[in-house]
Chain A
């Protein structure tokens, strides 16, 4: 009679040719957590100075930008004003707003930088952003069917998303999403597809939509009516400047965010993958589902340190100015476990994002045909 031998340390992870047992995954998780503890217990005055200085810089740039736009009759003033306003909107949305709403600065105990009360200069209401982003996206990162950031309900970015003919047009309308990114974000949490499927009540939908429209009205009033009106005869110039600044911020945010999870080697997961997921497995998924961007200090700040997307996903509530020092150490841990640490220059990474968008426009059966043909035509 054969005694059934129970494997006490089964392989629970197998991807990219790497196999990890349960105890290896948990050891990996503990190493990541040790990094977190080290930095979180070291937060202090310098970090506080960093964020306060940044807020000051951003607010000064915004005032200067809006001031210069009033002198729009001089073309250089229009250009400089628009540029300053664009940069200030990017800083506010990304390195300040996004990170404050992640509770990265709650430890300061400063009501001006508190995640529960902060609202950002964006048409998306903070409360809904925190639900769709902090909760849904950060918990279920790259889980098809759970993480609505995978395609934002309009793009197909994984073979596991069912294809339909509308996706054939996604290489084109993807650019529309980029240009209107803040609007996509604003209406994201409405989850209209859940409404269509009957998973969400009309009453809930209406309440949410009312809140969005309230925020939208304020944003539109400010940028497209009040500031232009204050400029009197130069109304159209200020209007155009504000429109351009919002557009620039939209394109930039889209670019950085798409490079964070949809590069070629960013892994996608299924709902089955996350059943009974342990903390260690969650860290693994964050690492493999995210991709970094390389660049200088200014680039990192302008990207809201989402250039350190991997570190941000491992430690979403850690002050973003600390990601940089952890990046090489996270990479070293990943290397030791044989895991891919996905990083590259912006151009490179975005190239692979576009490739994914173009490929996923096609149904899986065509994709398989294409790759077979490529394999056949390859030189022996």
Chain B
């Protein structure tokens, strides 16, 4: 199935194929036989759904040949059709680079969106779309001798990928990985974690906030003092951290005051900083108008007004929702920064109205 287009003969065959299929691509016809064929995007078949718990699954994905291997710690924008329309969310890859099939581990969040759909309704054989892997949450080259990794909740997934690939690549250094979790039943990838923990080069600690620890596990939650007290020279180590916003804030804050090494972090949820004040949003192309609430993104406001703007990740990553603002005042929901716009493009998932806004929608 993997066509090799490097030889001149195959190059010619491809050109002939494209000429015959024009204005479509040969993949549009091959898709009759395997729905993953596409010249436009990475489509993957869900080969198996591994249940992690009643609220989480690991999806084994077999992407088409447009897929390029990822670096451990990177994420993808995963798209799935819900009520006919494709919705997308970012997920970290939990598999190590080169591992096949590629996996993502997903926890339901009760929001009725992509995560819930994948956990409760995704079946083997389903088709999903993937973006190219992206993100800088990766171990730099050459790898430092010692690294401290902190994760919480579903933040376990990219760290799992980083650790697994680090251990299997014959590194000689040492990793300290502390994972914070509510209880055993909410822990993702548990089996694989236990397996990895057998390696001498990894010092893995599981810290539970609402369960009685077993074996060598710990009880507690992350705060100011925990790191300094529990991890020897924590402040001096390069630090990787991934988890919910509150967790990230605590670590980033601690690192700002004590940290001496570099900090790498991966954010899972859109960080909202109170949002804009709200305001009147006019839709120049469709002619409508709506009142955007304080803190509501322009994308949400448009959707609430019955529009269906193009969008992807809803967290400011993919830029699919980029839209021209004729004029208006917006607030960046992530940084909290106010901006006066005049005929400029913004990501409408990441900006709220801060007064009157006219959108090219």
Partner of B310, one of A59, A109, A121, A218: A109
CB of B24 to closest CB in A, whole Å: 8
Contact B86 A41 (CB under 8 A): no
> A112 and B40 in contact (CB under 8 A), knowing A59-B28, A219-B22?
yes
Contact B84 A218 (CB under 8 A): no
Contact B310 A106 (CB under 8 A): yes
Residue of B nearest to A97 (CB): B23
Contact A218 B23 (CB under 8 A): yes
Sample of 25 A–B contacts (CB below 8 Å): A44-B83, A45-B81, A46-B84, A56-B32, A59-B28, A59-B29, A59-B31, A62-B29, A63-B32, A107-B85, A107-B308, A108-B81, A108-B85, A108-B86, A109-B85, A109-B310, A112-B40, A117-B40, A121-B23, A121-B24, A215-B23, A219-B22, A221-B19, A222-B20, A226-B19
> A227 and B20 in contact (CB under 8 A), knowing A59-B29, A63-B32?
yes
Residues in chain A near residue B38, CB distance under 8 A: 112
Partner of A37, one of B16, B32, B287, B306: B306
Q: Given A119-B23, A221-B19, 20 more contacts at CB 8 Å?
A: A40-B306, A43-B84, A45-B84, A48-B85, A56-B32, A59-B28, A59-B32, A62-B29, A106-B310, A108-B81, A109-B85, A111-B40, A120-B23, A218-B19, A218-B23, A219-B23, A222-B19, A222-B20, A226-B20, A279-B287
Partner of B84, one of A41, A47, A215: A47
Q: What's the count of A-B pairs with C-beta under 8 Å?
A: 69
Partner of A44, one of B20, B32, B84: B84
Cβ of B87 under 8 Å from chain A: yes
Contact A48 B308 (CB under 8 A): no
Contact A108 B84 (CB under 8 A): yes
Cβ of A60 under 8 Å from chain B: yes
Report, as a range, how many residues of chain B touch the other chain. Answer: 20 to 34
Contact A48 B81 (CB under 8 A): yes
- What is the 8 Å Cβ interface bit string for chain B, positions 21-63, against chain A (1 contact, 0 not)? 0111000110110000010110000000000000000000000
CB of B242 to closest CB in A, whole Å: 28
- What is the 8 Å Cβ interface bit string for chain A, positions 45-71, against chain B (1 contact, 0 not)? 111110000001001101100000000
Contact A111 B306 (CB under 8 A): no
Cβ of B316 under 8 Å from chain A: no
CB of B16 to closest CB in A, whole Å: 7
Report, as a range, how many residues of chain A touch the other chain. Answer: 20 to 34
Cβ of A204 under 8 Å from chain B: no
Residues in chain A near residue B308, CB distance under 8 A: 106-107
Give bound CA distance, A41 to B16, whole Å: 43
Cβ of B79 under 8 Å from chain A: yes
Give bound CA distance, A44 to B31, whole Å: 23
> A110 and B86 in contact (CB under 8 A), knowing A41-B306, A60-B32?
yes
Residues in chain B near residue A112, CB distance under 8 A: 28, 38, 40
**Binding site secondary structure of chain A:** helix
Interface residues in chain A, defined as those with a beta carbon under 8 Å from any beta carbon in chain B? 37, 40-41, 43-49, 56, 59-60, 62-63, 106-112, 117, 119-121, 215, 218-219, 221-222, 226-227, 279
Residues in chain A near residue B29, CB distance under 8 A: 59, 62-63
Residues in chain B near residue A45, CB distance under 8 A: 81, 83-84
Contact A48 B84 (CB under 8 A): yes
Give bound CA distance, A56 to B28, whole Å: 9
Contact A111 B41 (CB under 8 A): yes
Residues in chain A near residue B22, CB distance under 8 A: 218-219, 221-222
CB of A224 to closest CB in B, whole Å: 12
CB of A229 to closest CB in B, whole Å: 10
CB of B130 to closest CB in A, whole Å: 13
A45, A60, A279 interface centre (most CB from chain B within 10 Å): A45
Residues in chain A near residue B85, CB distance under 8 A: 43, 48, 107-109
Interface residues of B in 249-278 (CB under 8 A from A): none
Residue of B nearest to A119 (CB): B23
Residues in chain B near residue A219, CB distance under 8 A: 22-23
Residues in chain B near residue A109, CB distance under 8 A: 79, 85-88, 310-311
Give bound CA distance, A279 to B286, whole Å: 12
B40, B87, B311 interface centre (most CB from chain A within 10 Å): B40
Interface residues of B in 285-305 (CB under 8 A from A): 287
Give bound CA distance, A119 to B40, whole Å: 13
Give bound CA distance, A324 to B81, whole Å: 25
Interface residues of B in 95-141 (CB under 8 A from A): none
Residues in chain A near residue B32, CB distance under 8 A: 56, 59-60, 63
Residue of B nearest to A279 (CB): B287
